[in-house]
Amino acid sequence: MSVKILKRSKKIKVIIKKEIDMKKFILGTITLFAVFGLALFVVQTVAQANSGGRKIVVFSGALNDAAKDELIARAGGAKLKHLDLIDAKAVWLPDRSAAAKLAASPGVVRVDDDVVVEALLKQGFVKDQGVSILAESLPWGVDRIDAKLVWPLPLGNTADPIKVGIIDTGISNKHPDLLTNVKGGVNTINPRKNWNDDNGHGSHVAGIVAALDNDIGVIGVGPKIDLYAIKVLGASGSGYLSDVIEGIQWAIANNMQVINMSLGTASDIQSFHDAVILAKNAGIVVVAAAGNSGGSVIFPAAYPEAIAVSATDKSDVIASWSSRGPEVDLAAPGVFIYSTYKGTGYATLSGTSMAAPHVAGSAALVLNTPVGGYDVILNGKWDPDEVQKKLQDRAVDLGSTGFDNLYGWGLVNAYSAVQP
């Protein structure tokens, strides 16, 4: 009996020793991975700290151009473009220490990230028709906001059409449903190239605003509106913030009255906000798509100086993916919208990108009417706040009574908005 107990005791000791050895092995392995992981984390952190990239260097106004360039060169940077609107330069910097060095330099206000900005197309809802159609059709969105009822009216300023800048991927330079309404433009990505749309998004937006009434294709909200192609996004539908700011700069310099930005970023960049403020201060009605995340409104729509637009479907219900929040001002059709596309084609697209131009077109129609009782500042003409107020007052209330976070003040109605 005692021999069996002794053998069992030895066996238990062996098992315990094996367990202890295994725990030591596991502990050692965990420690090794922890040390390695910490080292990897440190390496990654250092790499991130030293990562370079595109930045926007904002100056105080105290430096001349040569002095600005010298500061950038001393930091090891390369100048990409001038952004005179906000007294800034877009640059490439080798690392974060260069950005810190510049930010601490006399005459420099701050260094912002030159973030990527994207067209706000809801993926999965694209249908490219690819060819022109012979019979003209009235898109449901243009019909829903009663734009067709405005066209027969004797609006006051038809001899001098309203100028709407489409800040986007460009506009097709050969589309028969757009060609005579597109009066000019710019390519801020590459000024040596023209503003032709190599993506399709900008042409689609432009057609919603002002496709011609010419017995083919589609009709826009205001078929006599003058369009300007401000190409800030490339063939992929994305671009850099500095190109967008330069586009806003061009819009101000060329006397746009409305700009539509069916684009955005989740990043709140002060340089972007400053540009939007300056556009509004120049008398431009700024319209922007709220976003397609189903969550918070993105920028520039989230800025108070912009009219933020959410998207609705044919049942006047907000799209599940449409961004929402207290920043939303108005709603407009944005689901399965048929409009012009790149080349000579047509497409059915969805997104708050499609909703915003319904509002931009309506704003242009309002600008073509007497300001009347909305002339709060008593200067005899519309200013952006007055246009926005009338659009909101004449919108069709949806959702909760009055303002809500889904529809803002309601569904835009072009016909009601142009009434005295």
The contacts of residue 74 (CB under 8 Å, 6+ apart) are 101
> Taken in order 62, 63, 68, 74, is the CA torsion positive or negative?
negative
Choosing from 168, 177, 274, 383, the catalytic residue is 168
Quote the CA–CA distance of 333 and 372 in Å, as a whole number. Answer: 28
> Taken in order 188, 190, 192, 194, is the CA torsion positive or negative?
negative
The contacts of residue 248 (CB under 8 Å, 6+ apart) are 85, 167, 259, 275, 276, 278, 279
| Backbone φ/ψ region at 164: left (φ over 0), alpha (ψ -120 to 50), beta | beta
From first CA to last CA, the distance across the chain in angstroms is 110
Check: CB of residue 67 under 8 Å from CB of residue 73: no
The contacts of residue 253 (CB under 8 Å, 6+ apart) are none
Check: CB of residue 284 under 8 Å from CB of residue 363: no
Quote the CA–CA distance of 229 and 278 in Å, as a whole number. Answer: 20
Long-range contacts made by residues 383-390, C-beta under 8 angstroms, separation at least 24?
A: 383/283, 384/280, 384/283, 384/284, 384/285, 384/286, 384/305, 387/285, 387/363, 388/285, 388/307, 388/329, 388/363, 390/366, 390/417
Report residue 311 as tokens: 């998207």
DSSP 404: B
Choosing from 114, 175, 198, 201, the catalytic residue is 201
201 is catalytic: yes
362 is catalytic: no
Residue positions annotated with a catalytic role: 168, 201, 353
